Structure 1
Amino acid sequence: MKNGLILGQMLRERRRATLWWSLAIAALVLITAASYPSVKEAGSAFDQLVEQMPEGLLEMMGAADGLTTPAGYLNSQLYSNVLPIVLLIFGISAAAWTVAGSEREGTLEPLLANPVHRWQVAIERLTGTTLLLAVLTLVATVLLVAFRSPFELDELSVADLTAAGTAAFLLSLLFSGITYATGAATGSKGWAIAAGAGLATATYVLFGLSSLVDLFESLRWASPWYWFLQPSPLSEGWTFQAIGVPLLVVVPVIAAGTVVFTRRDLT
């Protein structure tokens, strides 16, 4: 079987769903960005509210830069919660299907009966998941760049918005990669989703607690949410912590899951 056929089939099967997800993300981003001028206009009231909040809570909310600056607003309303969560739901769902979900449906073994390597099936399907995640992230980033001026977000450069989008994409890819690897290694879709979604939730809670409880502060480095939000790419641009570290973690995880899958007994 020629390289790329499995990838192409997956992309074709999911194009309609991806279109609907793209439209949902576009609406989410536009509504959020369009609300900024109103928040900016009521700046003093929001600034007073921020001053009364604990610093740790502001970090957890992604509002360390305030609520009335473009970076602080988008971090608190989009990048620290809503956008990554939407990307995670999509990525984890797709990654869980690549091997474990297909195996559970009974469609994996007939595919492997063709002259195709196991690793080719797994990697091409994971590549499809990655590309679809990239498309959704690109939709959000392009819209923010395009509407910077109408929504008074000019202070943020194209490079800053691109860095933030890339970091959000890599965060979602990290947990999607963990989902894929767990499913490939165990053949269980349930375990795959539990691993990806469970770790995403647990590390987010850890990040939040590390901002509020001194006992957890020394553990914040272990949370990918900390890599993503401290410092924020919207404020600091392209940082190794937000861009490089997730890649250093997810690549060996994916490789390990693929190796186990190629050796696992599917009968």
Structure 2
Amino acid sequence: MAPLTASDVGEITVEDYGYGLGPPNGILVLRYPPAATIPDFPEGRDDFLHQVFFSPDGALVVRRGETSHFLSSTEMLWVRRGAVIEVRGLGLQTVLRTCVREAPARLTRHGAAVLAPSRQVRERILALARPGVSQAEGLQARAEILEGLCASPAAEVEHAASAPMTPARAVARALRVDPADPTGLTAWAEQLHVSPKTLQRDIERQFGLTFTTLRTQIRLRAALALLPGLSVTETAHRVGYGSASAFVAAFTREFGQSPGRYGQAPLAG
């Protein structure tokens, strides 16, 4: 049985580390360590704070309207204040949520964006989320973090207006949240109170794919986000493959190269 989300149980473990929080040029780092629930941040907006989400030991799934992205452990999500977005972990993992009231224009021009910061920026944020850091050290790190984020490649997460929640879209959204969900087409149809043929036709109409191909594509895109921090075998199981060999074959067919080329050591924290 999959773990519940923090929203399901109504609470989440959090450690907070603030530096210079009186003036507008302070920084607050909230660290959500791995616990018994999957960390999730439901769709909403903050009109006072810019935020950066980062998981050093897992992947995040981000949704903005009908736009969804998987983020690896080497990427971060920038969210300008007032932007509506939903963030969720793909497992029991650490999530760091960095909050600032002021940020450079090179960042605030993005409503929401996937950033690819340097290892040094990732290490700086991790270093702030620990006891024993002085106010002066924290504020110096803030300046270096924002400078590093400004220099990072950024891919805007566009807001696609939400479409009516058809059966096909309900299935796709559920699979993005849990790519390893083993539910088959017939069982999905039963849950959604439609026939399997009706559900299959709806998926083909909405996405131009069969159910099996849609599920495979979602699983493989989640795998791209997981591979920087997990082994090929762990990634295969995390996205729903019964064996590493089946995963390697599917990945290679889709991307033209083996998943091993995406592997790299995770950033410890």
TM-score calculated relative to the size of structure 1: 0.27
> More helix by proportion, 1 or 2?
1
Higher relative CO (Cα under 8 Å, sequence separation at least 6) belongs to 1
TM-score calculated relative to the size of structure 2: 0.27
